[in-house]
């Protein structure tokens, strides 16, 4: 029978994960006051939002846009259509792009891997245009792919008009960015290494070496920080999506619209401080509890009309729950299976969920998927199960 690679689960299941809002029925520590248009601090693994302000307001993302650019690029790499070793020819359009730059030269050829570093470290707008043209043939075609991806992820408050975030017409809500970041990091864990780079040295052909430093000050100052992206244009203010992992607790602090009108150095420092305050809040008041490793069997789901009667349910990746500190020992979980499973069922199909609770209050959910294929059964099995289901439905038991 066909087996599924659980560490590379399909996007459909990844975006089907529930995102729990603050509180979840339990007493919640008062969140800090954050002087910004909006923010979210949340557990990246479980999707539980720990505190928020205006999470669904469509704001100007500035260079946070580049996470979608990288997402589309890494999708293309995974599909084998482009490679990090590709030589990318730099067009005049890429070279002439304004704002933060990697300083690529028109007519030169740059390794795609270096362009990725130019985006993650230096927030290079020129590198974004070069990537867009290399992947899709034109910036316009690439942006269309970005918006298609946003729709597939269910990002309802998001719209892109460029691949770098220079335009004031780009829009994204904090909740949408959180959803985007979770899916991006889960689908492409290999991208994390690029976001944690503090310094990148790049030498354009015939020129002196350029030292590019990350705009994310937390990479130097906040232990465990590994990314993810900063952004700034005047109309947006100073934005940041800061990711940090400590003792298996993977947190994102997302701030949008901070330090508006302030000089760049002050604004960059202030947004870093605000993100650090939110990360402190998360680590001081909450903890992550691991329940199952990837591939762990979590029960069997009834499959109708199948060659076998049951499908083995497994965790598609590490699953667990976010709980208030001091409540780690009272976390419980229960498994709820779908009742509409009809063969054929393919490996990786969503079979049900694990529901996590603390003292009777739900604090999170995680999906369970089929370990292997369950082919359609023979004629007698199909007829028998059809009759059995009809009887159960008649008595309200299915």
> Residue 253 phi/psi, 5° resolution?
-115, 115
Q: Which residues contact 142 (CB under 8 A, 6 or more apart)?
A: 69, 72, 131, 132, 133, 135, 136, 163
- Element spanning 187, H or E: helix 174-187
Asked whether 103 and 184 are in contact (CB, 8 A), the reply is no
Asked whether 66 and 263 are in contact (CB, 8 A), the reply is no
Separation of CA 233 from chain center: 23
Q: Which residues contact 178 (CB under 8 A, 6 or more apart)?
A: 19, 40, 42, 49, 55, 252, 254
Q: 187 preceded by cis ω (within 30°)?
A: no
Residues making up the chain, counted from first to last: 398
State how far the Cα of 267 lies from the Cα of 89, in Å rounded to an integer.
35
Asked whether 147 and 170 are in contact (CB, 8 A), the reply is no
> Residue 366 phi/psi, 5° resolution?
-145, 145
DSSP letters spanning 258-302: ESTTS-HHHHHHHHHHHHHHHHHHHHHHEEEEEEE-TT-EEEEEE
Q: Which residues are catalytic?
A: 63, 66, 123
How many Cα atoms sit within 13 Å of 289 on the Cβ side? 21
Q: C-alpha angle 339/344/347, rounded to 5°?
A: 90
**Radius of gyration over every alpha carbon of the chain, rounded to an integer in angstroms:** 23
């Amino acid at each position: 029978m066909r087996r599924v690679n659980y560490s590379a689960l399909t996007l459909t299941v990844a975006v089907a994960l529930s995102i729990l809002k603050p509180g979840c029925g339990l007493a919640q520590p008062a969140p800090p006051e954050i002087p910004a248009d909006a923010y979210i601090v949340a557990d990246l693994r479980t999707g539980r939002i720990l505190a928020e302000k205006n999470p669904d307001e469509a704001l100007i993302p500035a260079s946070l846009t580049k996470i979608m650019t990288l997402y589309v690029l890494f999708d293309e790499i995974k599909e084998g259509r482009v490679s990090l070793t590709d030589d990318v020819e730099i067009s005049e359009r890429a070279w002439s792009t304004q704002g933060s730059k990697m300083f690529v030269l028109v007519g030169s050829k740059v390794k795609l891997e270096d362009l990725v570093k130019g985006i993650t470290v230096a927030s290079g707008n020129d590198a974004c245009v070069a990537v867009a043209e290399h992947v899709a043939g034109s910036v316009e075609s690439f942006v269309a792919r970005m918006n298609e991806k946003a729709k597939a992820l269910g990002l309802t408050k998001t719209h892109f008009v460029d691949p770098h975030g220079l335009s004031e017409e780009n829009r994204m809500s904090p909740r949408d960015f959180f959803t985007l970041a979770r899916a991006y990091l889960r689908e492409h864990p290999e991208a994390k290494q690029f976001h944690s780079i503090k310094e990148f040295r790049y030498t354009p052909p015939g020129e002196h070496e350029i030292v590019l430093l990350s705009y994310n000050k937390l990479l130097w100052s906040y232990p465990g920080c590994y990314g993810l992206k900063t952004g700034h244009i005047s109309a947006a203010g100073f934005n940041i999506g800061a990711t940090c992992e400590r003792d298996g607790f993977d947190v994102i602090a997302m701030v949008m619209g901070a330090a508006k009108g302030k000089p760049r150095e002050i604004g960059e420092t202030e947004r870093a401080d605000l993100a650090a305050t939110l990360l402190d809040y998360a680590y001081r008041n909450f903890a992550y509890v691991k329940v199952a490793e990837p591939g762990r069997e979590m029960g069997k789901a009834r499959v109708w009309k199948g060659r076998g009667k049951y499908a083995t349910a497994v965790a598609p990746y590490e699953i667990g729950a976010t709980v208030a500190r001091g409540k780690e020992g009272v976390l419980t979980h229960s498994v709820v299976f779908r009742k509409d499973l009809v063969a054929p069922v393919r490996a990786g199909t969503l079979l049900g969920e694990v529901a996590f609770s603390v003292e009777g209050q739900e604090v999170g959910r995680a999906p369970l998927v089929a370990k292997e294929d369950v082919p359609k059964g023979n004629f007698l099995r199909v007829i028998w199960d059809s009759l059995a289901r009809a009887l159960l439905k008649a008595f309200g038991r299915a």
